[in-house]
Amino acid sequence: AAELEYESVLCVKPDVNVYRIPPRTSNRGYRASDWKLDHPDWTGRLRVTSKGKTAYIKLEDKVSGELFAQAPIDQYPGIAVETVADSSRYFVIRIQDGTGRSAFIGIGFTDRGDAFDFNVSLQDHFKWVKQETEISKESQEADTRPKLDLGFKEGQTIKLNIGNMTSKKGGAAKPRVAGSGGLSLLPPPPGGKTAVPPIPPPSSTAIANHVTPPPVQKSSNASSADILLDLDAPAAASKAPVSATTDLWGDFSTASSAVPNQAPQQSNWVQF
């Protein structure tokens, strides 16, 4: 796994000052005012990189890029990087060489924004390390838990009855009645009556050939021959003057009473 890890650059600052610091005399912390801030011991470039979960502060030459010193950091904030008590632009870091020897030096930035970026890059890296540690821990706990076996045992079967599905009320679903033309129609409601198909209207030829005779008033002195004459000449009967003394509403009542006593019509008449 260590061979597959690659180094990534977290932050680069072109100007950084390095100071030799006196040993700490108390637990109050380091103070930048105790250093010779006007006369730095070395000036170069700072680069923050990461490889795996470890971050590295590398002090390099501005021109050649030669490594001057580096400080491996396993935890932040921690003993490898500490802030001073009287300024936010200066830090104390612990550098190490290949033989395992270590020393504490002070570094400082001219611009306060550079110091802020340096601090944030270390915070973001170790925040990511913390999240990765929690995720790996949860995955290990999940692997140790007993797994739920939802597979079928040998010879075990299940039965699905989809065709006889019941309705919401618990009754069986009503089958649909297939109508003409392959369309499925709903059955009539319970207790209802089937509608009688309407009688087709008569053709235009039958309507043209049919003439409805006017109603004929029946009098006591009229004979069957007079009735036939009246049918042959409806126009002449319509021209007969109506006396003023005759009741107009009496014609309607006489006509309605005379209709049932008419002779049966011939078979060729169309009945409505």
Confirm whether 148 is domain-assigned: no
Confirm whether 254 is domain-assigned: no
Sign (positive or negative) of CA dihedral 227, 233, 236, 242: positive
Of residues 219 and 36, more confidently modeled: 36
Instruction: Give me the number of domains the chain comprises.
Output: 1
Enclosing domain of residue 82? 7-139
CA-CA distance, 215 to 19, in Å (whole number)? Answer: 136
| Structure tokens, 152 | 């079928």
Tens of pLDDT, residues 44-68: 999 999 998 899 999 999 989 899 9
Q: Identify the band that residue 228 occupies on the pLDDT scale cut at 50, 70 and 90.
A: very low
CA-CA distance, 60 to 47, in Å (whole number)? Answer: 8
Confirm whether 70 is domain-assigned: yes
Q: Quote the percentage of the chain above a pLDDT of 70.
A: 57
Confirm whether 200 is domain-assigned: no
The CATH number given to whatever domain includes residue 52 is 2.30.29.30
Q: Identify the band that residue 160 occupies on the pLDDT scale cut at 50, 70 and 90.
A: confident
Q: What is the pLDDT of residue 73?
A: 92
Tens of pLDDT, residues 87-108: 899 999 999 987 878 999 999 9
Confirm whether 22 is domain-assigned: yes
Confirm whether 71 is domain-assigned: yes
**Which residues are CB-contacts of 65 (< 8 A; sequence separation ≥ 6)?**
45
Confirm whether 131 is domain-assigned: yes
Confirm whether 147 is domain-assigned: no
